[in-house]
Amino acid sequence: MTSFEILLSLLAAILAAAISALLIQATRPLLLRVALAKPNARSSHRTPTPQGAGIAVVMATLLAGGIVIVLAGSADLTVPLTVFAAGLFIAVVGFADDVRPLPVVPRLLLQAAAVAAVVFAAPGELRIVPACPVLLERALLLIAGLWFVNLVNFMDGLDLMTAAEAVPVAVAVALLGSLGHIPAATTIVAAALCGALLGFVPFNRPVAKIFLGDVGSLPIGLLLGWCLLQLALHQQFAAALLLPLYYLADATVTLLRRMARREAFWAAHRSHFYQRATDNGFSVWRVVGSVFALNVVLALLAFASVVLNSAFADIALLLAGALAVALLLRRFARPRAAKPA
C-alpha cells in the first residue's frame, strides 16, 4: 500500500467516526420511542435502553468506506459493492428482528443469503486449500460465515463488548492491509468500521445510553467476517483465526455446553463466559478491559504469524493464543475472590 492509500484509510476512520457519532446523536431520541430494549432475566442492563445505534455504525462504515474507496480509484468495485449490498440487506433483517422477533428458520435463511453473496463474490482463483474442490470450500465458508455473523450477535450482550472485540480486529486488519497482505478496499473498510465503532463508544460505555441492536451486530459480523476471509484467502489463515479467537471460543464452547445439556441453544440466555463473569463479581469495565487486552495480545500473535510466515510458527502461535483465551475463560467462569475485611 502506498502512503496515499494509508492516508485514505486514516481518512475513512476519521470520517466514519464523525458520521457515526452525529447519526447516533440525531437518531437516539427517535429510538427512545420506537426501539426501547426493556430488561429481562437474561439482560445485562437494568433500565430500559434504546437500541438501534447499529444503524449509525453501519451507515457510517459504508458511507465513509465507499467514499474513500472511490477516491482511491479502485479499478474493480464489484466485490466491495456486493459486500456493501449484503451488509445493508442483513442490517434490514436485523432491524426487522429488533422490532418484531423473526422465526429462527426464516431469519437464518435470510442471513445465509447475505453471507453467500459475500463468500461467492470472492474471486475463484483465491483459495484457502487449493486441493479442496472450490464449491466444497465455498460451502464450508458459507457455514463458517453464518456462524460467525451469529456469534458476533450472541456476544453483543454487554456494554462496549462489541467495540472491545471488533476495534482491535479492525485495526489489525487495516495495519496488515497497509503492509500489502490484503486488497486496498478491504483495508479501507476495516479502517472505516474501526472509526464508526469508536464514534459509538462514548454512547455505549457503561452505563450505556444506547445499544447496537441486531441491526448493528449482524452487519458488523458480516463485515468483520469478510475482512478475515480476505486474510485467509491471501494465505494468512493463522492470522485470520487468531484475531477473533476469543469470540470463537466463548461462543462455540457455550453453544456446545448448552447442546450437551439439551437446552434450547437457539434461545436467548446468560451463559456466555463474559456474562458469567459479571454474575461472578467482575465489573463490566473489568470484563471488557480483559477482553480488549486479550485481543491486543491476539493481534500481536497474528502479526507474528504474518512476519514469521512459517507453518511451525503458526502452530506455536495458535497454541499460545488458545492458551491465553482458555486462561481468560477459566478466570471468567470462577467467582471472583472476595477482598478480606
Would you state the pLDDT for residue 305?
97
Which residues does residue 36 pair with via DSSP β-bridges, in sequence order?
50
Interval 69-106: pLDDT, tens: 888 776 556 678 899 999 999 999 999 988 888 898 99
CB hemisphere CA count around 82 (13 angstroms): 17
pLDDT band at 341 (very low <50, low <70, confident <90, very high): very low
b/e burial code for range 74-88 (CB count within 10 A of at least 16 → b)? beeeebbebbbebbe
Interval 159-172: pLDDT, tens: 999 999 999 999 99
Angle CA 257–263–267, to nearest 5? 105
pLDDT higher than threshold 70 for residue 42: no
Interval 196-245: pLDDT, tens: 999 999 999 988 899 999 999 999 999 999 999 999 999 999 999 999 99
Interval 245-304: pLDDT, tens: 999 999 999 999 988 888 776 666 778 999 999 999 999 999 999 999 999 999 999 999
Would you state the pLDDT for residue 270?
77
Contact 159, 208 (CB under 8 A): yes
Helix 161-178 and helix 284-308: axis angle, to 10°? 20
Spell out the domain ranges in the chain: 3-237
pLDDT band at 26 (very low <50, low <70, confident <90, very high): very high
List the one residue out of 149, 121, 321 whose CA is nearest residue 224: 149
Give Cβ neighbours of residue 70 (< 8 Å, ≥ 6 apart).
77
List the one residue out of 186, 191, 188, 168 whose CA is nearest residue 228: 186
Q: Maximum distance among all alpha carbons in the chain? A: 67
Say how far apart CA 85 and CA 87 lie, in whole Å. 5
Tell me the three cell numbers of residue 294.
486479550
At residue 51, the 3 state secondary structure works out as: strand
Mean pLDDT of 187-204: 96
Is pLDDT larger for residue 252 or for residue 50?
A: 252
Contact 214, 153 (CB under 8 A): yes
Contact 271, 258 (CB under 8 A): yes
Say how far apart CA 261 and CA 104 lie, in whole Å. 20
